[in-house]
Amino acid sequence: MAIYDHSKYVSLTMEFRCNLACKHCMIEGTMDRLAPQSDEVFARLLEHNARTGDWTGLILTGSEITLRRDLPELARRARAAGFKHVRIQTHGMHLGRAAYSQMLVEAGVDEFFVSVAGSGAASHDGITTVAGSFDKTLRGLEILDSYDGVATITNTVVTEDSYRLLPGIVGALGHLRKLTQMEFWFYFPMKETDEKGLVANHLDALPYLREATRMAQALGREVEIKNYPECLLGADSILLVNDQPQLFIDPAFWDEFARNGFYQCPHRDNCVSKQCLGLNTAYIKRFGDHKDLLRPFLGPAAEF
């Protein structure tokens, strides 16, 4: 049911600086060590796609891609190389400057994947730890709403601090016409322990997730849920989409990612799910393995 085919996109991590300090940042300890993809890699990818047409969309990402002053030029080059869509993944603050948003749109950026951490200034700014960040991000989304041919997508990291805010986040963005999809990503700490106490209990978060999902769908928006046990979603299991575009990133990132220890589930040997990541090590250490609550996933139409 997804409107964006992840297999048709390719993602390049082109920047590892950020001017926010989000409490849930999963790479805060590695940003100073990870290297962005080089201009040579970027050029080779453009040449490859111009020759093969493997992908229709390019995603420019990083800790905060809008810190690259040459971002408009990267977008223009991607469009010239034949990419039908150029997407940026951003916290959205800089989009609150109308001239900057216009410059990106005119350069060929037609999809904006924007992180929204809270349901209003107090909660969002409390999570990003930067005052005024919510107002700038919301203003940016509103500016993009005025452009034909532009689509926006939002991403919310679901943590102990944010899961109760999910319905309010949907409501706060309810007036946006170009918001096509809302994604809810359950937090993992990139290590074996949840030192910050941010991992949300799946059972506690589920009622808020369901309400937010219903609200978003009523507004005509698609929903994707990430890193949540498929069997707990019941009829909403079809919304679990852990597929991702092919990602070009510093290989050292994967060493950190592996520390999460995904795919732990007492029923995994009997489960048919192709999307579920199971539980991770930090989650199990906090909340246990839910052996009596999880069950083998038998398909979206199965009886539970």
Between CA 23 and CA 117 the distance in angstroms is: 10
DSSP 8-state class, residue 279: B
3-class DSSP assignment, residue 36: coil
Closest CA to 230 of 189, 186, 288, 164: 186
Between CA 197 and CA 201 the distance in angstroms is: 11
For residue 297, what pLDDT is reported?
Answer: 82
**75-121 pLDDT per residue, tens:** 999 999 999 999 999 999 999 999 999 999 999 999 999 999 999 99
**Where residue 29 falls among pLDDT bands split at 50, 70, 90?**
low
Closest CA to 97 of 61, 128, 135: 135
Which three-class secondary structure string do you get for 145-158? CCCCCCEEEEEEEE
Task: Give me the amino acid identity at 63.
Answer: S
Closest CA to 11 of 243, 253, 242, 247: 247
Which two structure tokens, joined as six digits, stand for 162?
A: 């944010």
Mean pLDDT of 20-44: 88
Q: What is the pTM of this model?
A: 0.95
**Where residue 299 falls among pLDDT bands split at 50, 70, 90?**
low
Between CA 5 and CA 57 the distance in angstroms is: 9
Task: Give me the amino acid identity at 53.
Answer: G
Q: Which residues are CB-contacts of 129 (< 8 A; sequence separation ≥ 6)?
A: 20, 21, 22, 23
**149-181 pLDDT per residue, tens:** 999 999 999 999 999 999 999 999 999 999 999
Which two structure tokens, joined as six digits, stand for 154?
A: 């939002």
Contact 295, 273 (CB under 8 A): no
